[in-house]
């Protein structure tokens, strides 16, 4: 049987990073299989919780992460959503089981409930919200869990043209066992289940109906979804059985918790793909990190750093643990640093451009881009987020304020000693016939000896004079990249500032 998996978000805002990780498990399951297919289905059946623009963020997040869709809503389907979600740049996918937006499949759901009603497996009910609330309160007073069952109906024989919901006639006795790929065998007592609503009075289906119908019609082989759905799984198995279908394999993915053991929320940091992107994480690192939340290759394989191709090869749902995964921002930062160092210099430089602009460094000419690419060896090993590059490279593209005299005095040095050191540096560097890192290094090391200064003394004075900062790329590479003119000009300004005191 072909492996077919899906991501089925409800368009109620940006997907939480926990859902994104569930989506990745689903995607990786399809990519691991030789001819697997992965698709997107928008579950917009709760029109009240619908948030305009959600489908767009969902599709954009997938694209940024590098998650390709084999099937999914196309422009026409996106445009037919409650608020037109179509936009230029969205991939035009669709596929053999279109439409991939549930609000465009309402006839199908109605046909399926009609079938169940005709077979006595579902029924019409019209208890009002107030009546149901009264039943719930009475059950609470008796310390019973409230589960609506058909014998509690206040009115029977409701005509199809009267307002009503359709409920499923859930078995009243016996048990239902789910053989979950992650949670193992779980048995539920049917007596605790309820006659769930399949179709609401507004004609929209509930998740319980729509997802089962669509997973069947769209030939989903593995339903990878959040563990929150586990209590509903026996109902879903019964609904699937009522239709006479073969159930898919289920994999209920455990929760993601923060390090304090609580549900991951804004309080702990970023929780959406957009936020992680803006904070300077690479999609490669985020995919790698999220895939490892609860999954490990196992059997003594300690590998932590994975390319997407390696994940395709190694990922299986059987290796996902059943206990909650802990989200460590420190580990994500570490992985991000690793993936940054794996990028080719020109790739990294191009990705940095928008982050540098935000940090006040405009890379707006081909020449500046070339210079930026040449700076990558100095930057690549020093940042673990793209947002951190601006403070390292700004001195190469923007003029600096002349440092204060305090800053220009080296450790354990008097003012006149620092001034003499700056003057000697200026003339030694001005006299160089070649400007290269090794030449600069040997010249300055010799100068330190001649001046009877410790390397840190001399180098601190020079670093501060040409950068105005205490933290910079390594000195010799920095001077090489700055070039002779700028270096000498900044040394001159430092000499004037210190000499004026």
**Residues known to be catalytic:** 266
CB of 101 to ligand GLU, least distance (A): 12
Task: Report the C-alpha gap between 50 and 82 in whole angstroms.
Answer: 8
Taking the least distance from each CB to ligand GLU, the nearer of 164 and 236 is 236
Taking the least distance from each CB to ligand GLU, the nearer of 9 and 205 is 9
Q: According to CB under 6 A, which residues from 37 to 56 bind ligand GLU?
A: 43
Token pair 């304090």 in the structure block, residue: 260
List Cβ neighbours of 327 (8 Å cut-off, separation of 6 or more).
Answer: 17, 256, 257, 258, 259, 264, 268, 293
Taking the least distance from each CB to ligand GLU, the nearer of 207 and 327 is 207
Both structure tokens of 144 = 């019973």
CB of 92 to ligand GLU, least distance (A): 23
Are 264 and 258 in contact, with CB atoms under 8 Å apart?
yes
Q: Is residue 440 a contact point for ligand GLU (CB under 6 A)?
A: no
Element (H, E) at 28: helix 17-32
CB of 136 to ligand GLU, least distance (A): 24
Q: Is residue 10 a contact point for ligand GLU (CB under 6 A)?
A: yes
Q: According to CB under 6 A, which residues from 204 to 223 bind ligand GLU?
A: 207, 211
CB of 14 to ligand GLU, least distance (A): 12
Both structure tokens of 400 = 């600096």
The alpha carbon of residue 325 and the mean position of all alpha carbons in its chain are separated, in whole angstroms, by: 15
Taking the least distance from each CB to ligand GLU, the nearer of 39 and 207 is 207
Q: Is residue 225 a contact point for ligand GLU (CB under 6 A)?
A: yes
Both structure tokens of 415 = 């003012």
Taking the least distance from each CB to ligand GLU, the nearer of 211 and 408 is 211
Q: Is residue 180 a contact point for ligand GLU (CB under 6 A)?
A: no
CB of 108 to ligand GLU, least distance (A): 17
Task: Report the C-alpha gap between 447 and 452 in whole angstroms.
Answer: 8
Task: Report the C-alpha gap between 199 and 155 in whole angstroms.
Answer: 18
Q: According to CB under 6 A, which residues from 381 to 410 bind ligand GLU?
A: none
Burial of 8 (0-12, 13-18, 19+ CB in 10 A): buried
Please identify which residue in 3, 5, 9, 199 interacts with ligand GLU, judged by CB under 6 A. Answer: 9
List Cβ neighbours of 75 (8 Å cut-off, separation of 6 or more).
Answer: 86, 90, 92
Please give the backbone phi and psi of residue 215, each rounded to the nearest 5 degrees, phi first.
-60, -35
Are 100 and 73 in contact, with CB atoms under 8 Å apart?
yes
CB of 19 to ligand GLU, least distance (A): 7
* Distance (Å) of CA 253 to CA 24, 105, 271, 370, 489: 11, 27, 18, 46, 60
Stretch that binds ligand GLU, among 8-16, 167-175, 246-254, 267-275 (CB under 6 A): 8-16
Taking the least distance from each CB to ligand GLU, the nearer of 207 and 295 is 207
Q: Is residue 103 a contact point for ligand GLU (CB under 6 A)?
A: no
Q: According to CB under 6 A, which residues from 123 to 162 bind ligand GLU?
A: none
The site for ligand GLU, by CB under 6 A, has a size of 7
Residue of minimal Cβ distance to ligand GLU: 225
Contacts to ligand GLU by CB under 6 A: 8-10, 43, 207, 211, 225
């Amino acid at each position: 049987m072909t492996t077919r998996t899906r991501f089925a978000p409800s368009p109620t805002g940006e997907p939480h990073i926990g859902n994104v990780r569930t989506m990745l498990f689903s995607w990786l399951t399809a990519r691991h299989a030789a001819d697997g297919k992965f698709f997107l289905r928008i579950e917009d059946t709760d029109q009240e919780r619908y948030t305009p623009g959600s489908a767009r963020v969902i599709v954009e997040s997938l694209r940024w992460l590098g998650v390709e869709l084999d099937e999914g809503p196309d422009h026409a389907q996106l445009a037919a959503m409650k608020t037109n979600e179509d936009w230029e740049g969205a991939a035009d996918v669709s596929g053999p089981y279109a439409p991939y937006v549930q609000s465009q499949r309402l006839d199908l759901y109605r046909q399926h409930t009609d079938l169940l009603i005709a077979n006595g497996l579902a029924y019409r009910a019209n208890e009002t919200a107030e009546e149901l609330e009264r039943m719930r309160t009475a059950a609470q007073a008796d310390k019973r869990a409230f589960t609506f069952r058909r014998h509690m109906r206040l009115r029977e024989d409701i005509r199809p043209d009267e307002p009503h919901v359709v409920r499923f006639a859930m078995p009243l006795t016996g048990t239902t066992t789910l053989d979950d790929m992650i949670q193992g065998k779980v048995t539920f007592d049917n007596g605790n289940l309820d006659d769930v609503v399949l179709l609401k009075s507004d004609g929209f289906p509930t998740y319980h109906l729509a997802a089962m119908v669509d997973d069947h019609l769209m030939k989903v082989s593995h339903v990878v979804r959040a563990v929150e759905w586990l209590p509903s799984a026996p109902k879903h198995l019964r609904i699937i059985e009522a239709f006479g279908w073969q159930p898919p394999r289920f994999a209920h993915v455990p929760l993601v918790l923060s390090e304090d053991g609580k549900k991951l929320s804004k309080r702990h940091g970023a929780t959406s793909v957009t936020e992680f992107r803006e904070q300077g994480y690479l999609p490669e690192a985020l995919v790698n990190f999220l895939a490892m939340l609860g999954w490990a290759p196992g059997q003594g394989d300690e590998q932590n750093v994975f390319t997407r191709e390696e994940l395709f090869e190694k990922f299986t749902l059987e290796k996902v643990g059943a206990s909650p995964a802990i989200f460590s921002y420190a580990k994500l930062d570490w992985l991000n640093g690793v993936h940054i160092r794996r990028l080719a210099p020109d790739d990294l430089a191009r990705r940095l451009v928008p982050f540098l602009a935000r940090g006040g460094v405009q890379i707006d000419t081909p020449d500046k881009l070339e210079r930026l690419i040449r700076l990558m060896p100095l930057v690549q090993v020093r940042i673990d987020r793209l947002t951190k590059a601006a403070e390292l490279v700004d001195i190469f593209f923007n003029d600096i304020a002349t440092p204060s005299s305090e800053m220009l005095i080296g450790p354990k040095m008097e003012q006149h000693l620092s001034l003499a050191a700056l003057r000697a540096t200026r003339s030694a560097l001005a006299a160089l016939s070649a400007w290269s890192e090794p030449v600069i290094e040997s010249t300055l090391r010799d100068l330190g000896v001649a001046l009877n200064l410790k390397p840190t003394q001399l180098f601190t004075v020079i670093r501060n004079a040409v950068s105005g900062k205490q933290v910079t790329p390594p000195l010799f590479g920095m001077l090489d990249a700055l070039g002779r003119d700028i270096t000498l000009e900044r040394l001159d300004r430092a000499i004037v500032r210190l000499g004026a005191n």
